[in-house]
Amino acid sequence: MKPVKVGLLGLGTVGGGTAVILKRNAEEIARRAGRGIEVDFIATLDADAAANLGIENVRLTDDAFAVVNDPDIDIVVELIGGYSPAKELVLKAIENGKHVVTANKALIAIHGDEIFAKAQEKGVVVAFEAAIAGGIPIIKALREGLAANRIEWLAGIINGTGNFILTEMRDKGRSFDDVLAEAQELGYAEADPTFDVEGIDAAHKLTILSSIAFGIPLQFDKTYTEGISKITLDDVAYAEELGYRIKHLGVARRTEAGVEQRVHPTLIPKSRLIANVNGVMNAVLVKGDAVGATLYYGAGAGDEATGSAVIADIIDVTRTLTTDPENRVPHLAFQPNELADIPVVSMDEVETAFYLRMTAKDEAGVLAEVTRILGDKNISIEAFIQKQPEHKGDDANIILLTHRVNEGDMNSALEQIEALDVISGDVMRIRVEALS
C-alpha cells in the first residue's frame, strides 16, 4: 500500500518536533498505522529550518496554500497557530477533500463548529489532540476511553506558564513579575504574556474539553475567564497556612441549571494529587459516573511532547482512510446531530467556596461588621486568620475562608464590604474547590 503523504504548515517548535519524530520512528509508526507516513511538502518561512533538522527529500515552499492545494497531499497538518490564515487554510484543505490535523486550540475553540460541519459535509476528519495539554492524550481519553461514562466534572491545570509562575512563587517566595520575566527568558511565556497569565489560552482549551465532555456546541464566549496576575505572595502563603495551594484551574461541571465553564485561580486542598502538579507540567482530573475520578498528567508543551500528539492524530487519520466514513469517531465525541442544547450557566449562578483577603483598619468591630454583611447574604465562615500589623496604626490583613455560596451573593457582599470606610482597596477573592 502506498505511503500517506503529509503536508506540514509551519516548521517551528511543534512542526520541527513532528517532522523529527516521523523520520526517527518511521518504521514503528508504519507498523501502527498499517502503511507508511511521509512528510512530502512543508510550508515554512525559514528556508534553512528543514536542513537544520536533518529533514531531506522534502519539497519546501513559503506559500501554505500551495501545500493545501497540492493533489498529492492526503493529510494537511496545520501548525501555524492563531485565527488567520489558519482558518482559511483549514477550510480550503477540507474543501479539497483533505484530512486535517491541527494543534490550534484557538482555532478550534472559536471556529470549531463551522470547521467540523464542513468536514462532515466533505467526509473528512479534523483531528486536534495536540491542541490541549501537549502530549497528554486527554481528548482521546474523554472521547473514547471514557465513552461509557456520564461525565460529571473535569478540572485541569492546562497552561504550563501559569503553573510555573505559581509554583515558583510558592516554593521560592518570588514575586509574580520576577517569575514572569524568567518564564519569558526560558521561552515558557511570549513577549506579550496576556494569553497565558490572563487565562485566555486555558479558556480556549477548557471550551473544547467541555464540549467533548458534555456534548454541547463550542461556546468560548460563555467561558468565564480570570487570570493570575493579581495573586500575591501573601495569598500564596495564607493559602498554605489554611491547608491549600493556589492553582490556575479550568473547571467544567454539569449541574441541574446547565454546564459551568470557568477558568480562574483556585484554592485546592494540599492533599489532592492535582495540587502537587508543579512547574510547567499539565494535569486534567475527570470525574465519570462509572469510573470515578481519573487523572491525566504529563508535559503540556514542547516540540516532541506536542509532536507526539500530532503524530497520534496522523496515525488515526491514516487508519480512517480505509474505513467506512459513516463510522468514524465524531469530532466532539457525540454524533453531530446529537449535540445537546444544554445552557452554559452564568458565573453569577455558580456555587463555590471562597478565600477572601482584605486590608482593614486595626480597630475594634471591623471583623464583626464584615461578618454581619456576609451573614446577611447567608455566607458562613469556615476559617479566618487575622494578621496584626507590625506597627501601631498600620492596617491589618483579614483572611476568611467561606463555605460554598452562590457567586452572585458573594459579589453583592463584596460590594458592600469594599464600601466600608474601614476597608482599604479591593477585596482579593479566590475560589475554592475540594475536587472530591
Q: Do the strands 4-9 and 37-43 form a parallel or antiparallel pair, or are they unpaired?
A: parallel
Round to whole Å and give the CA distance between 281 and 115. Answer: 30
Q: Are residues 101 and 37 in the same domain?
A: yes
| Grid cell at residue 23 | 523520520
Q: Are residues 104 and 233 in the same domain?
A: no
List Cβ<8 Å contacts ≥24 apart for 19-27: 19/50, 19/53, 19/55, 19/307, 20/53, 20/54, 20/55, 20/303, 20/304, 20/307, 21/304, 21/307, 21/308, 21/311, 22/311, 22/314, 23/54, 23/55
**96 Cβ contact partners less than 8 Å away, ≥ 6 residues apart:** 68, 69
Determine the average pLDDT of the residues in 213-238.
Answer: 97
Asked if the structure places residue 63 within a domain, the reply is yes
Are the beta carbons of 146 and 288 closer than 8 angstroms?
Answer: yes
**Residues in the chain, how many?**
436
Q: What is the DSSP string of 191-205?
A: SS-HHHHTSHHHHHH
- Count up the domains in the chain and report the number: 3
Determine the average pLDDT of the residues in 214-223.
Answer: 97
Asked if the structure places residue 277 within a domain, the reply is yes
Q: Are residues 27 and 80 in the same domain?
A: yes
Are the beta carbons of 298 and 281 closer than 8 angstroms?
Answer: yes
Q: Where are the beta strands (DSSP E) in 289-434?
A: 292-299, 351-360, 381-387, 396-402, 405-406, 423-432
Q: Are residues 46 and 186 in the same domain?
A: no
Q: Are residues 315 and 208 in the same domain?
A: no
Task: Give residue 361's identity as a one-letter amino acid code.
Answer: K
Task: Give residue 54's identity as a one-letter amino acid code.
Answer: G
| Grid cell at residue 372 | 454581619
Q: Are residues 76 and 100 in the same domain?
A: yes
Residue 435 has pLDDT above 70, yes or no: yes
List Cβ<8 Å contacts ≥24 apart for 45-50: 46/11, 49/11, 49/16, 50/11, 50/19
Quote the mean pLDDT of the chain: 93
Q: Are residues 156 and 247 in the same domain?
A: yes
Determine the average pLDDT of the residues in 194-214.
Answer: 97
| Grid cell at residue 341 | 442544547
Residue 226 has pLDDT above 90, yes or no: yes
Round to whole Å and give the CA distance between 167 and 199. Answer: 16
Determine the average pLDDT of the residues in 129-135.
Answer: 94
The pLDDT confidence band at residue 187, using thresholds 50, 70 and 90, is confident
Torsion sign, CA atoms 56, 62, 67, 71: negative
Exactly one of 87, 105, 205, 247 is catalytic; name it.
205
pLDDT top residue among 229 and 337: 229
Determine the average pLDDT of the residues in 71-84.
Answer: 96
Q: Are residues 105 and 158 in the same domain?
A: no
CATH of the domain at 114: 3.40.50.720
Determine the average pLDDT of the residues in 176-185.
Answer: 95
C-alpha distances in Å from residue 166, one per residue of 24, 52, 229, 296, 346: 36, 35, 10, 20, 27
Task: Give residue 89's identity as a one-letter amino acid code.
Answer: L
Q: What is the pTM of this model?
A: 0.92
Annotation says 205 is catalytic = yes
Q: Are residues 333 and 364 in the same domain?
A: no
- Three-state SS for 324? coil
Task: Give residue 266's identity as a one-letter amino acid code.
Answer: T
Are the beta carbons of 342 and 214 closer than 8 angstroms?
Answer: yes
Q: Are residues 267 and 142 in the same domain?
A: yes
Round to whole Å and give the CA distance between 165 and 180. Answer: 6
Comparing 126-135, 219-228, 312-321, the range with the smallest average pLDDT is 312-321
pLDDT top residue among 322 and 227: 227
Domain boundaries, position 319: 4-135+303-338
pLDDT of residue 196: 95
User: Phi and psi dihedrals of 295, rounded to 5?
Assistant: -120, 135
Q: Which residue has the cell 497565558?
A: 196
Q: Are residues 146 and 68 in the same domain?
A: no
The pLDDT confidence band at residue 432, using thresholds 50, 70 and 90, is very high
Determine the average pLDDT of the residues in 178-183.
Answer: 95
287-315 pLDDT, tens digit per residue, is 999 999 999 999 988 889 999 999 999 99
pLDDT of residue 335: 67
pLDDT of residue 327: 59
364-419 pLDDT, tens digit per residue, is 888 899 999 999 999 999 999 987 777 776 788 999 999 999 999 999 999 999 99
Are the beta carbons of 296 and 91 closer than 8 angstroms?
Answer: no
